[in-house]
Chain A
Amino acid sequence: MATATSSSTLVTGAALTASPNRQAPKPRPVMEFLSTYVFSKDHKVIGLQFLFSTLLWFLIGGLLALAVRWQIAWPWSDVPVLGKLFAQQGGQMAPEFYTMLFTMHATVMIFLVIIPILAGAFGNFLIPLMIGADDMAFPTLNMLSYWFMWPAFFFFGASFFVEGGAASSGWTSYPPLSTNVAAAPGSGLGQTLWLLGLTMVGVSSMLGSVNYMTTIILMRAPGMTMFRLPMTIWAMFITAVLQAFALPVLTAAGFMQLADRTIGTGFFSPEGNMVNNAMASTGGGQPLLWQHLFWFYSHPAVYIMILPAMGMVSDIMTCFARKPLFGYRPMVYSIAGIAGLGFIVWGHHMFISGMNPALGMTFMVSTMMIALPSAVKTFNWLGTVWGGRIQFTTAMLFALSFVSMFIIGGLSGIFMAATPVDIFIHDTYFIVAHFHYVLFAGTAMGVWAAIYFWFPKMFGRTMNEFWGKAHFFLTFIFLNGTFFTMHILGAVGFPRRLADAYHYETFHHLQPLNAFMTWCAIGMVASQIIFAINFFWSMFFGPIAGRNPWRANGLEWTAPSPPGHGNFDFQPVVYRGPYEYSVPGADKDYLMQTDPPNAAAAALAAAAH
Chain B
Amino acid sequence: MGSRWTGIFWSFVFLAVPVLGVATFAVAPAFDIWLPKDVSSDGATIDSLFMFILILTGVVFVITEGLLFWFLWKYDAAKATGPATYVHGNHTLEVVWAVIPAGVLLFLAIYQMNTWANVKMRRPAMSPTLEVVGRQFEWRLRYPGRDGTLGTPDDLFLVNDLHVPVDEDILIQLKSMDVLHSFFLPNLRVKQDAVPGMKIPVWFKATQTGQFDIVCAELCGWGHYKMAGQITIESRKDFNAWLESMYAKQEATQPEPAAVALAE
A485 to B31 CA separation, bound complex (whole angstroms):
13
Chain A residue nearest in CB terms to B182: A427
B78 to chain A, nearest CB (A): 8
State whether the Cβ of B212 lies closer than 8 Å to any Cβ in chain A. yes
- Choose the segment among B107-115, B125-133, B147-155, B164-172 that binds chain A (4+ C-beta atoms closer than 8 Å): B107-115
- Choose the segment among A197-205, A250-258, A496-504 that binds chain B (4+ C-beta atoms closer than 8 Å): A496-504
Q: Are A484 and B24 in contact (CB under 8 A)?
A: yes
Q: Are A427 and B217 in contact (CB under 8 A)?
A: yes
Residue of B14, B193, B194 contacting most chain A CB atoms (<10 Å): B193
Chain A positions within 8 Å of B136 at CB level: 183, 275-276
Chain A, residues 392-404, CB within 8 Å of chain B (1/0): the string is 1000010011011
Q: Are A584 and B86 in contact (CB under 8 A)?
A: yes
Q: Are A360 and B116 in contact (CB under 8 A)?
A: yes
Q: Are A368 and B192 in contact (CB under 8 A)?
A: no
Q: Are B212 and A505 in contact (CB under 8 A)?
A: yes
Q: Are B191 and A426 in contact (CB under 8 A)?
A: yes
- Choose the segment among A3-11, A237-245, A298-306, A316-324 that binds chain B (4+ C-beta atoms closer than 8 Å): A316-324
Chain B positions within 8 Å of A274 at CB level: 177-178
Q: Are A176 and B178 in contact (CB under 8 A)?
A: yes
State whether the Cβ of B218 lies closer than 8 Å to any Cβ in chain A. yes
Chain A, residues 366-409, CB within 8 Å of chain B (1/0): the string is 00110110011011101101111111100001001101100110
Chain A positions within 8 Å of B215 at CB level: 493, 495, 504, 506
Chain A positions within 8 Å of B256 at CB level: none
Q: How many residues of B contact A (CB 8 A)?
A: 99
Chain A residue nearest in CB terms to B106: A368
A428 to B34 CA separation, bound complex (whole angstroms):
13
Contact partner, B213, options A276, A404, A505, Cβ 8 Å: A505
State whether the Cβ of A542 lies closer than 8 Å to any Cβ in chain B. no
State whether the Cβ of B158 lies closer than 8 Å to any Cβ in chain A. no
B107 to chain A, nearest CB (A): 9
Q: How many residues of A contact B (CB 8 A)?
A: 116
Chain B positions within 8 Å of A273 at CB level: 178, 196-197
State whether the Cβ of B219 lies closer than 8 Å to any Cβ in chain A. yes
Q: Are B34 and A492 in contact (CB under 8 A)?
A: yes
Q: Are B49 and A506 in contact (CB under 8 A)?
A: no
Q: Are B50 and A421 in contact (CB under 8 A)?
A: yes
B63 to chain A, nearest CB (A): 10
Q: Are A169 and B84 in contact (CB under 8 A)?
A: no
Q: Are B49 and A324 in contact (CB under 8 A)?
A: no
| Given A323-B84, A420-B49, A492-B35, A99:B221 Cβ within 8 A | yes
State whether the Cβ of B105 lies closer than 8 Å to any Cβ in chain A. yes
A487 to B21 CA separation, bound complex (whole angstroms):
10
Chain B positions within 8 Å of A493 at CB level: 35-36, 184, 186, 215
Q: Are B101 and A375 in contact (CB under 8 A)?
A: yes
- Choose the segment among A50-58, A410-418, A562-570, A593-601 that binds chain B (4+ C-beta atoms closer than 8 Å): A410-418
Chain A positions within 8 Å of B34 at CB level: 488, 491-492
The 5 A-B pairs of least Cβ separation, nearest first, read A270-B197, A387-B85, A96-B222, A327-B89, A357-B120
Given A180-B178, A386-B85, 6 more pairs with CB closer than 8 A: A275-B178, A322-B77, A326-B89, A369-B105, A372-B102, A583-B86
Chain A residues with a Cβ under 8 A of chain B:
94-96, 99, 168-170, 174, 176-177, 180, 183-185, 269-271, 273-276, 286-288, 321-330, 352-354, 357-358, 360-361, 364-365, 368-369, 371-372, 375-376, 378-380, 382-383, 385-392, 397, 400-401, 403-404, 407-408, 411-412, 414-415, 418-421, 423-428, 465-466, 469, 473, 476, 480, 484-485, 487-489, 491-493, 495, 497-501, 503-506, 509-510, 513, 579, 581-584, 589
- 28 A-B residue pairs with CB within 8 Å: A99-B222, A170-B219, A176-B180, A275-B178, A324-B88, A326-B88, A327-B90, A328-B89, A352-B182, A372-B105, A376-B98, A382-B67, A382-B71, A388-B84, A389-B83, A401-B14, A403-B68, A407-B64, A415-B57, A418-B112, A421-B49, A421-B53, A423-B119, A469-B1, A488-B33, A499-B224, A579-B88, A581-B86
